[in-house]
Structure 1
Amino acid sequence: MKRKSLQLKELRTALLRKQQETTDKAKAEKREFTPEEQQELDNQDDEIADLDTQIETAERNEARELRMASLTATSVGQGFHGGDLGESSEQREVNNIQKRFSFSKALREASAGKLEGVEKEVNDMALKEAASLNLDFKSTDRSFSIPSYMMRATTQSVTGDAGAFGGALVPTDIRMVNDFVPKLFLEDLGANLLTGLTGNLSLPINKSFELDWLDENEAVTLKASEFSGPTLKPKRAAAGVMISNQLMLQSSVDVEALIINQFRSAAKRAIERAAINGNGLKQPLGLLNVPGINLSAVTAAKTPEYADILELKGLVRDADSTDISLGFLSDNVLASVLEGVKKDAGSGRFLLEEGKLGGMKHVASSLVPELAGNHPLIYGDWSQMTVGQWGGAQFTVDPFTQAGSGAIVVYVNLYANVIIALPKAFAVNKFLTA
């Protein structure tokens, strides 16, 4: 979709460039404009003034259309969409596209081999973005893609999204930008999420250097402050899910949410599981396998004690690492155990109380793996973990393989990676038992 105002602005820019060329030529030759050049410049001035008027009119009309569209454009749930009067006309148009995009409609049209309307428009934008990133989003009649700006909102929070992350399975209005990649529990700990990446991303770490004590007039020996760090490169994650034709043909909010939730849950699990224990081959290298993290002195299975909590905190502190977002991560089983272990004999306090472990934030997840029957406990500065995502996601619809079962198969591809910038900012005990 190319707005008329943009086309008019391109014409105006072309005229301004012509005027600049004429002016530069006269300056280079150290002369005044020729009569022909002066007449051409005057004519161009008139055209530019006329274009300015047309652009102003076009922008008013487009803004009016967007305001009306915000009242009439609907997603699957026919929800009302209010506009932000402080947004630019470009942002309002993007928001309008997001609101009108229907994931289930895109699935139906891709299954039939033809995208139309806003779904085709979104797909074209995603393919253009993927091509600029050299991602392998191969376009076929039965595929569609969504761009990175529709993968994740920039203002999501647990309490600020009408409960979509707080436990509500079905939101009252579906917007892909809010739903495809949900908030990660790693973000609750302080990990960074970067979306819309282009190329490889280097994470520089400034290695410390020491000051020397010198005599009053002794010369200083210069030292290089070395910057080095890991590089975040995209890895491909993919999955397939079977969806019944009857479900796909529905157009209610509940069904749209159900379909999207199948993919958003898969994306969330893939990213978080790899971030914790990825093997570093096809998967990202997970935190538990990163060389250089601090390891507990405990090397045999044992029940948790307060001393184990203090040990991990001490390891990170002694490593002179940063302390921006310190916190603990464990699985749910160990969390339950920690809630029942007394801190000492007399205080009546327990190791884990009100989400705090050793006075620090604690998060539990079933995605933290058991290691040989033991339950790892991780502590560290989670701002040193970065989750990166390149481009959007591509969906390919197979309406034939499961046709006899009245279903389609949908495959999704996305590109992401996880990296630890400063391994010594983390410590882990891999031998705690339940």
Structure 2
Amino acid sequence: MIHHIKEQRALAVAEMRGMVEKVQAEKRNLSADEAKIFDSLKAKITSLEEEETRATFLAEAERRMSGTPVDKGLANLESNVSIVEVLRAQMEGRALSGAAAEYSAECERRNGRKASGVYVPLSALESRAANTTTTAGQIVPTEHRPDLYIEPFRNSLLARKMGARLLPGLVGNVSMPKYKTGMTSGWVAEDSALTTSGMTFESVTLTPKHCGGIGEISRQLLQQSSPAVEELIRNDLSYLLAQAIDTALIKGGGTNEPKGVLATTGTQTGNLATMTWANVLAMLEKLEISNATAVNWLTSPKVKTKFSKTLKETGLPGYLLEGGSVAGLPLFSTNQAPEKTGTPNTGIAILGDWSQVMLGVWSEIDLLLNPFAETPYSKGNVLLRAMCSVDIAIRHPEAFVIAQDISLA
């Protein structure tokens, strides 16, 4: 939302600048109609700035609610970093300046290591075939309409939005002590000894895992001045890395991948092979017995449909999924939730508390442009590599009950 507001504001500023430059070139003052349009744009910019202030305040409030500390100085830098400006500077072989230079330098100071390229904030990518002005023709037509840019259909990225805790600015490996078992008490007869007991602990660890991708971008695309180009590159990079992180948060456990909820041992097992109200309540009961809090459901679109058409009780009104909720808890669906093929095909439903999931970040997005790769070089294009270093840990695996037996037949 914040990036959309900034884009609209930039478009209005560009239009105002164009009007001023036009009348200066013609050595005249604004006409009455032009002055009216100019004042309208000025009012629009003021309104957008107020909207941005509100949206920024809300974003920081939501971060605080999820337990993520907010560094206001760094947050202000983040909001002013332009990805396109970073890429242009690398392509032209010049030093960074402004917010991008300050942000990258601050990340290097905090991390204690120099980026191979340039650090840009993970938040700049939130809101592959080569990207060229041919494949992205909507953003450089004769009549430029970035407000009508047609986005591709993409999987919903939900895990982080559902409350996973972000631990930014990590340097070394992280080991967090965790209570395992405690002392015991009991009744004894007179003059009998109490049973000696003690507390035991274990550790939850985070070590960096590396994720990235390489894409080819045309020289002309990077040289376009429209804010829509910034939005296009941001969205493409966003989906490149955010999908990989989101998939790992939900499942993970593959080669070189962090372990997400489904790959972590110690989670509880639910049974929805027969999808009934009683089995739904049994999953809720398991969390309550473990002193965990049920916050929401995560599943796939096909399983969501099955919840929607399954009656709570045969012959009586009321479905398991009503008003977007199951048993009063919101249900989210995404194609990131895996399904198993077989006889029959089966889907999953995860019930739990995503604030128990920690996403540790060692490296924000590290961008490095390579203008010398042979094939792109011959076309005047560049290769862009984006990488980040993160890991995932589950504080209390028992805070999740997982049913992996939902028939999709």
- Both proteins in one fold, TM over 0.5: yes
Q: May I ask how many residue pairs the two structures share in their alignment?
A: 317
Tell me, in whole angstroms, the C-alpha distance in 2 between the residues paired with 1:413 and 1:355: 36
Q: How far apart, CA to CA, are the structure 1 residues paired with 2:358 and 2:275?
A: 29
Q: What are structure 2's unaligned runs of at least 5 residues? A: 1-8, 14-44, 54-70, 128-144, 148-155
Counterpart in the other structure of 1:305: 276
Name the stretch that deviates more: 119-128 or 329-338: 119-128
Q: C-alpha deviations, 1:13-52, integer Å up to 9, x for none?
A: xxxxxxxxxxxxxxxxxxxxxxxxxxxxxxxxxxxxxxxx
Q: Is the counterpart of residue 126 in structure 1 residue 124 in structure 2?
A: no
2:338 paired residue among 369, 381, 384: 369
Matched, 1:108 2:94: no
Corresponding residue for 1:239?
213
Q: Does 1:251 align with 2:225?
A: yes
Aligned partner of 1:351: which letter?
L
Matched letter for residue 236 of structure 2: Q
Structure 1: segments with no counterpart, 5+ residues: 1-73, 85-90, 158-169, 173-182
CA contact (8 A) 1:106 1:115 kept: no
Give the match's secondary structure for 2:217. strand
CA distance in 1, matches of 2:75, 2:269: 47
Alignment equivalent of 1:199, drawn from 172, 185, 191: 172
For residues 407 and 217 of structure 1, do their structure 2 counterparts lie closer, same or farther at Cα, with a shift above 3 Å needed?
farther
Residues 161-180 of structure 1 mapped to structure 2, 5 A cutoff: none
Change (3 A) 1:263 1:217: farther
Matches of 1:144 and 1:253 in 2, distance apart?
A: 21
Counterpart CA distance in 2 for 1:228 and 1:102 is 43
Alignment-derived partner of residue 267 in structure 1: 241
Q: What aligned pairs does 1:250-399 form with structure 2 within 5 A after superposition?
A: 250-296=224-270, 302=273, 304-318=275-289, 320-323=290-293, 325-372=294-341, 373-399=345-371
Contact 1:189 1:361 in 2 (8 A): no
CA distance in 1, matches of 2:10, 2:190: 74
TM-superposition CA deviations, 1:218-256 (whole Å, max 9, x none): 665553222323212211111122222222111222211
Deviation at 1:285, TM superposition (A): 1.0
Q: 1:413 to 1:77 in 2, by over 3 A?
A: farther
The one-letter amino acid paired with 1:114 is R
1:399–1:407 CA contact under 8 A, matched in 2:
yes
Cα distance change of structure 1 residues 251 and 77 upon mapping to structure 2, 3 Å threshold: farther
For 1:195 and 1:254, locate their aligned partners in 2 and report how far apart those are by CA, in whole Å: 29
Rounded to whole Å, the distance in 1 between the matches of 2:76 and 2:394 is 37
Normalised by the length of structure 1, the TM-score is 0.64
Contact preservation (8 Å) 2:217, 2:382 = yes
> 1:428 corresponds to which residue?
402
Quote the offset at 1:217 in angstroms: 7.6
On the 8 A contact 1:204/1:230 being kept in 2, the answer is: yes
The Cα shift of 1:392 comes to: 1.9
Which letter maps to 2:287? V
Does structure 1 retain, via aligned residues, the 8 Å contact 2:292–2:398? no
Alignment of 1:85-104 (within 5 A): 97-98=77-78, 100-104=80-84
Give the letter for the 1:322 counterpart: A
Partners of 1:421 and 1:93 in 2: CA distance: 29
Evaluate the alpha carbon distance shift between residue 99 and residue 419 of structure 1 in structure 2; reply closer, same or farther with a 3 A threshold: closer
C-alpha deviation, 1:405, in angstroms: 4.4
Shift in Å at residue 335 of structure 1?
A: 0.7
Inter-partner Cα distance in structure 2 for 1:217 and 1:267: 66
AA partner of residue 319 (structure 2): F
Deviation, 1:432, is 0.9
* Matched residue type, 1:392: E
- Alpha carbons 1:104, 1:251 under 8 Å: kept: no
Provide the secondary structure at the position in 2 that maps to 1:255: helix
Counterpart residue number, 1:407: 381
Return the letter of the residue paired with 1:107.
Answer: L
Asked if 1 retains the 8 angstrom alpha-carbon contact of 2:160 and 2:246, the reply is no
Does the CA-based 8 Å contact 1:386-1:419 persist in structure 2?
Answer: yes
- Structure 2 distance, partners of 1:274, 1:410, is 23
Q: Distance in 2 between matches of 1:392 and 1:145?
A: 6
* Cα distance change, pair 331–93 in 1 and its aligned pair in 2 (3 A): closer
SS at match of 1:342: coil
Give the one of 187, 194, 217 matched to 1:213: 187
TM superposition shift of 1:116:
3.3
TM-fit CA distance, 1:409: 1.8
Alpha-carbon shift at residue 418 of structure 1 (Å): 1.2
Instruction: Give CA-to-partner distance per residue, 1:107-149, whole Å, 9 cap, x none.
Output: 011122222322444333333333x2x5x733xxxx3223xxx
Contact 1:76 1:251 in 2 (8 A): no
